[in-house]
Structure 1
């Protein structure tokens, strides 16, 4: 899973097709793979992920929880100045 230099495409592991993800899980997982940095992390807000994946925020939250329970991602709360900001999403290797 790496990005090329000019950012025109990203790679998904072939194994993802054997994982039996729902269509929404596949879309959000793919988005997080595309959005992650070199450490495998991104901190997009749920509304922005939902908008980018053409789904409502509540569906996106359910999908994120499902991906976390399946071990595909790890969700960590981010605090800046004592306030919780957007979560930190780490894409786990499958």
Structure 2
């Protein structure tokens, strides 16, 4: 996109900052957002391209991609390319970025579930302590 001053820019959803992403996760996710096709929510930059853009080694980029997958912000699929000699080889990963509001809603649901579990544990611990303490 071009803004009125003529510079290139892309939009990063504010909700991303509610998820507690590490700086590395945020950098890789931001680059994927920049590359994303807004209609399909997909892109396929190479690991090398991502690494150059965010100043990380390819192994570090792979680590953050795995973490973003675990957080369910993105999904990846392997692709294949046909060479000039009709051979097949691995292509870049195809990245699909999930709608951020879905991710945020799931994040808050997990947080609420954790709070409810902690409250239940405390209630059980209190009951157990009351039963074990002689009157």
Scaled by the length of structure 2, the TM-score of the pair is: 0.63
Separation (CA, whole Å) in 2 of partners of 1:36 and 1:77: 17
Structure 1 residue 80: deviation in Å?
2.3
Provide Cα deviations, 1:26-70, integer angstroms capped at 9, x if missing partner: 001000000111311111110110111101111000000100111
Pair 1:24 & 2:30 matched: no
Q: Which runs of 5+ in 1 are unaligned?
A: none
Structure 1 residue 7: deviation in Å?
7.0
Match of 1:58 in 2: 59
Q: Which runs of 5+ in 2 are unaligned?
A: 83-87, 101-135
Shift in alpha-carbon separation, 1:23–1:84, aligned structure 2, 3 A: same
Q: From the two aligned structures, give the one with the greater helix fraction.
A: 2
Query: Out of 83, 92, 98, which is 1:86 matched to?
Result: 92
Higher RCO (CA < 8 A, seq sep 6+): 1
CA RMSD between the two structures: 1.6
Separation (CA, whole Å) in 2 of partners of 1:44 and 1:10: 16
What is the number of equivalent residue pairs in this alignment?
92
Structure 1 outlier segments of 4+, above 6 Å: none
Scaled by the length of structure 1, the TM-score of the pair is: 0.88
What is the DSSP-based 3-state SS (H/G/I as helix, E as strand, rest coil) of the residue aligned with 2:12? Answer: coil
Separation (CA, whole Å) in 2 of partners of 1:92 and 1:43: 15
- Larger gyration radius, structure 1 or structure 2: 2
Match of 2:48 in 1: 47
Structure 1 residue 84: deviation in Å?
1.4
